[in-house]
Amino acid sequence: MFSPIKSTKVYEQVIEQIKNMIDQGMLKKGDKLPSERSLVQQLEVSRASIREALRALEVIGLIDCRQGEGSYIKASFQDNLFEPLSIMFMLEGSNQEEIWELRKIMEVEAAGLASKRITDEQLIELKELTQKFINCDDEDINSEIDKKFHYKIAECSGNVLIFDILKTVSTLVDHFIKDARKLIIVHEGNKEILFSQHNEIYLAMERHSSSDARKAMREHLDFANKYKSERTI
Amino acid sequence: MFSPIKSTKVYEQVIEQIKNMIDQGMLKKGDKLPSERSLVQQLEVSRASIREALRALEVIGLIDCRQGEGSYIKASFQDNLFEPLSIMFMLEGSNQEEIWELRKIMEVEAAGLASKRITDEQLIELKELTQKFINCDDEDINSEIDKKFHYKIAECSGNVLIFDILKTVSTLVDHFIKDARKLIIVHEGNKEILFSQHNEIYLAMERHSSSDARKAMREHLDFANKYKSERTI
């Protein structure tokens, strides 16, 4: 299992050993890490080094340190990566346009892959999300359904990396535009257009047509982007 | 500038204040952070909290803590994000195919964007990288030139996010296949094919043709992928 550590940047080696355990399948999502005390004994390093390593993993979004309960490998990586990405984006001076560009690339390709890989069960879920959309007048709920629709397609791409990056990018987009939808639907008739665009995407999935799915997603995002740009910031 | 902190997860607030300084442009790439002692005084928190925060930022790849010198915001984010992404990929059980798929999407789109945005100066640099390729018999050097060629195109995309994600993904690909090139060029004539593919990509850039650039990059990667798959792992 663990083995004693002797060296300079101690916390790095603590992380390295935790990584190795993950790599070997000894630690999985949702698993509890050994206690700080136990890590101190097994790795023969100071409590401070252990805490530095755990904090770093917590900031990264990989573990969850619960007061009085111990540390757990996260079961899902919802906001994972967000912290480092957002700081980096600030330092790089990346702007809304770059984030939007990346999102468009990823979503269009995710739609293409999803159309080929979507299961019958997932098609039913996606159809439900499409239908709910017209049957609801509450914009807060619609906004949630909208997000779920897009996440579902990213999920159906069958590529965890694409899914994770899209989640991160979407979170960032949300930080810039609190609610893109609201900017769009103030214009009469746009709610219906959004529905029909979602429906086109869904129908392309049903036909398992990659080119149609990519085209429909591209048109949908270009439409949304047009309204986003109306804002002054 | 900084202001005293009172609360529970102290290190998070230390990071938050550093983030704010970055956001406000008070800290930039390459800048030195205040000393640990000075941070302790200004933020009125324990030295342990400061160190936890700094360690976390170091693991993320945003700062560089140099023994006896202090902490610096990194001037470039070469390996940034690699640590969290690689651990996450292990936990998610993502495989080589997923990484390759993501890389292909990003590189093809990067080529498309680069063809539109590449400057005359960058075109000269890219041409040099293309030419060096045939004039050299040392495979280690060729391998380096090959990587630089791909990075250059990602850079010319003009989108920092795309550039950063591609760097991370490429590092991960390198971890799986130590040297993709070597697997390809053991086959007679393949070195010439690789050169001519790079040249096609370059020529598309010169013509500023987005569709040609994407097509040439796609063909190049599909070709490389074919040989990659020959490996048993």
Among A143-147, A152-156, B40-44, B171-175, the range scoring the smallest mean pLDDT is B171-175
Tokens at residue B119, please? 């400057």
Distance CA A87, CA A92 (A): 9
Distance CA A170, CA A157 (A): 16
Q: What are the structure tokens assigned to A222, written together?
A: 């270009």
Q: Which residue has the higher pLDDT, B168 or A158?
A: A158
Residue with token string 């956001």: B23
CA nearest to A92 within chain B: B160
ipTM above 0.85, yes or no: no
Among B22, B55, B99, beta carbon nearest to A56: B55
Q: What is the CATH number of domain A93-228?
A: 1.20.120.530
Q: Which helix (H) or strand (E) holds B63?
A: strand B63-66
Q: Are B27 and B21 in contact (CB under 8 A)?
A: yes
Give dist(CA B217, CA B104) in Å, integer.
9
Architecture of domain A10-73: Orthogonal Bundle (1.10)
In B, minimum Cα distance to A11 occurs at B55
Side chain identity at residue A166, one-letter code: L
**Cβ contact (<8 Å) for A90 and B57?**
no
Token readout for B43 is 């933020």
With CB atoms and an 8 Å threshold, state whether B91 touches A19: no
Residue of B nearest to A49 (CA): B52
Asked whether the beta carbons of residue B80 and residue A88 sit closer than 8 angstroms, the reply is yes
Cα separation, A97 vs A145, in Å, equals 25
Distance in Å, alpha carbon of A187 to nearest chain B alpha carbon: 31
Chain A nearest-CA residue for B10? A55
Residue that wins the pLDDT comparison between A109 and A231: A109
User: Which of A136-145, A171-180, B5-14 reaches the highest mean pLDDT?
Assistant: A136-145
C-alpha closest to that of B232 among B183, B198, B192: B183
Residue in A with minimal Cα distance to B49? A52
Q: Which of B55, B74, B79, B175 to mutate to test the interface with A (most CBs of A within 10 A)?
A: B55
Please give the residue that has the higher pLDDT: either A150 or B28.
Answer: A150
| pLDDT number for residue A99 | 82
Q: Which residue do the tokens 């936890």 mark?
A: B52
Phi and psi of B189, rounded to 5°? Answer: 85, -15
pLDDT (tens digit, 0 to 9) for every residue of chain B, 233 residues total?
A: 566 544 457 877 888 888 888 877 788 888 999 999 999 999 899 998 888 888 878 877 778 888 888 999 887 665 555 566 666 666 766 677 888 899 999 999 999 999 999 999 999 999 999 998 777 778 888 888 888 999 999 999 999 888 878 877 776 666 555 567 778 888 888 889 999 999 999 999 999 999 999 999 999 999 988 876 554 33
Residues B56, A58: C-beta atoms closer than 8 Å: yes
Helix or strand (DSSP H, E) at B71: strand B70-73
B169 CB neighbours in chain A (<8 A) are 161
Nearest to B122 by CA among B82, B163, B81: B163
The domain segmentation of chain B, as residue ranges, is: 10-73, 82-228
Q: Kindly determine whether residue A84 and residue B61, on different chains, have CB atoms separated by under 8 Å.
A: yes
SS (H, E, C) chain A: CCCCCCCCCHHHHHHHHHHHHHHCCCCCCCCECCCHHHHHHHHCCCHHHHHHHHHHHHHHCCEEEECCCEEEECCCCCCCCHHHHHHHHHHHCCCHHHHHHHHHHHHHHHHHHHHHHCCHHHHHHHHHHHHHHHCCCCHHHHHHHHHHHHHHHHHHCCCHHHHHHHHHHHHHHHHHCCCHHHHHHCCCCHHHHHHHHHHHHHHHHHCCCHHHHHHHHHHHHHHHHHHHCCCCC
Mean pLDDT of A198-213: 97
Residues on chain B touching A105 (C-beta within 8 angstroms): 105-106, 109, 162
Q: Is the pLDDT reported for residue A7 higher than 60?
A: no
Contact A159 B93 (CB under 8 A): no
Residue range A203-221: mean pLDDT, rounded:
97
Å between A165 CA and nearest CA of chain B: 9
Spatial CA neighbour of A49 closest among A95, A17, A22: A17
Cβ of B161 within 8 Å of Cβ of A99? The answer is: yes
B82-228 classified as CATH 1.20.120.530: yes
Q: Which helix (H) or strand (E) holds B66?
A: strand B63-66
Distance from C-alpha of A91 to C-alpha of A100, rounded to nearest angstrom? 18
A12-27 residue pLDDT tens: 788 888 888 887 778 8
**Is pLDDT at A158 greater than 60 in this prediction?**
yes
Of A170 and A3, more confident:
A170
